[in-house]
Each structure stands twice: as structure tokens, then as C-alpha cells.
């Protein structure tokens, strides 16, 4: 955790990789991560934690497989959404998008159970901001 303020636009400008989050700070036992995303992620589940999304720029769609069936939520710039623990979900960004994610330190970007990880998705617990 840094002892200085982090400007999110500068943090996002410091890397170019898609679906490869950077840890900008921590709150208690949670990471605050930023990522650049475009295209599809993969179907995955976090068995033990919710996953919070804030769209900083662009648009994020999250498909959810729930007891009542499958649905998709659309998050425009400035919108937040929390995927409940145990819910299978698949993020998708139709345009270049910047997001902030809040989840427990050590949480994998591909969850506890997931489809095959495509080459464009970084299976990580987050990278330090450099």
C-alpha cells in the first residue's frame, strides 16, 4: 500500500495490457485494482467472495447465470455492480473500458472455478502498480 495519493488516470496510463489488473491500494484485507478491458473475459465463479465493479470509463456488461436463468447487466461509465459470491459470471466490454475492482487480497481474476483461460486474460491475483 502506498503512503501517497494515487491518481487513477496516471495508474491506468502506466500499463497497456488488457484484463491484467494493477493493485492501486489496499483497504483492510481488500485490494483496490484497476484494469483496462475490452472483449470477453471468461465464465468463472468466486465461491467465497463478492466482486465489486466500478466503471471508470467505457461500458462493461456482465452476464450472470442465476437460479432463474441467464441475464446480462450493463454498466455505463460511473455505474457500480456487485456480483454475489457463488454466481457464475462473464464480463464483456464492447469498447475499450477502464474499471476499478474491489475484492479480498489474493483473489484470482479467474475465480475458483472457470472455463479455459484464453491467452488475452491474465490469470493473476493482481500486479503491483509500478
Domains in the chain: boundaries:
8-113
Task: Report the pLDDT averaged over residues 5-20.
Answer: 96
Percent of the chain residues topping a pLDDT of 90:
78
What does pTM read for this prediction? 0.93
Q: Is the pLDDT of residue 46 over 70?
A: yes
Please determine, for residue 115, whether its predicted confidence score (pLDDT) is greater than 80. no
Distance CA 112, CA 73 (A): 22
Instruction: Inform me whether the pLDDT recorded for 66 exceeds 80.
Output: yes
Question: pLDDT band at residue 1, thresholds of 50, 70 and 90?
Answer: low
Class of domain 8-113: mainly beta
Give tens-digit pLDDT for 90-101.
999 999 999 999
75's CB contacts (< 8 A; 6+ apart) are: 53, 55, 59, 60, 61, 62, 81
Q: What share of the chain is helix, strand, coil (3-state, %, to 5)?
A: 5, 50, 45
Res. 116: pLDDT tops 90: no
pLDDT of residue 77 exceeding 90: yes
Amino acid at each position: 500500500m502506498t503512503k501517497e495519493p494515487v491518481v487513477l488516470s496516471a495508474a491506468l496510463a502506466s500499463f497497456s495490457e488488457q484484463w491484467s489488473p494493477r493493485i492501486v491500494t489496499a483497504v483492510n484485507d481488500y485490494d483496490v485494482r484497476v484494469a483496462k478491458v475490452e472483449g470477453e473475459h471468461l465464465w468463472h465463479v468466486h465461491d467465497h467472495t463478492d466482486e465489486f465493479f466500478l466503471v471508470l470509463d467505457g461500458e462493461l456488461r456482465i452476464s450472470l447465470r442465476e437460479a432463474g436463468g441467464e441475464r446480462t447487466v450493463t454498466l455505463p461509465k460511473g455505474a457500480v455492480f456487485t456480483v454475489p459470491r457463488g454466481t457464475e459470471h462473464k464480463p464483456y466490454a464492447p469498447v475499450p473500458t477502464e474499471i476499478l475492482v474491489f475484492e479480498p487480497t489474493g483473489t484470482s481474476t479467474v475465480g475458483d472455478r472457470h472455463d479455459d483461460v484464453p491467452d488475452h486474460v491474465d490469470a493473476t491475483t493482481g500486479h503491483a502498480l509500478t
